[in-house]
Amino acid sequence: MPLAAELAGYGADVVLITDIRGELSAHPQLRVLRLPPAGGLAGCVLDILPVQLAAHSLAERAGRTIELRHMPADTKLAAS
């Protein structure tokens, strides 16, 4: 968390996504998204979801579509 505050202090726009509780020095360049603590699969989903939503939003702003380029067969269950 000190790195996020330091980068904001240099003038960078920073979004810190964390489940760690603690105080950060307030800075207009720093936004903090606090995730609820979760373990297991729920924790994995909560870790990546904000990043995926940000990527989608940035792609939309740029007029680009996000498409699935590679679907690995070894991570899917066969339909029954």
Q: Is the entire prediction scored with pTM above 0.85?
A: no
Least confident of 1-5, 54-58, 68-72: 68-72
Q: What is the pLDDT of residue 22?
A: 76
Q: Is the pLDDT of residue 17 over 90?
A: no
Q: What is the pLDDT of residue 70?
A: 67
| CB burial of residue 75 (10 Å; 0-12, 13-18, 19+) | exposed
- CB of 49 within 8 A of CB of 66? no
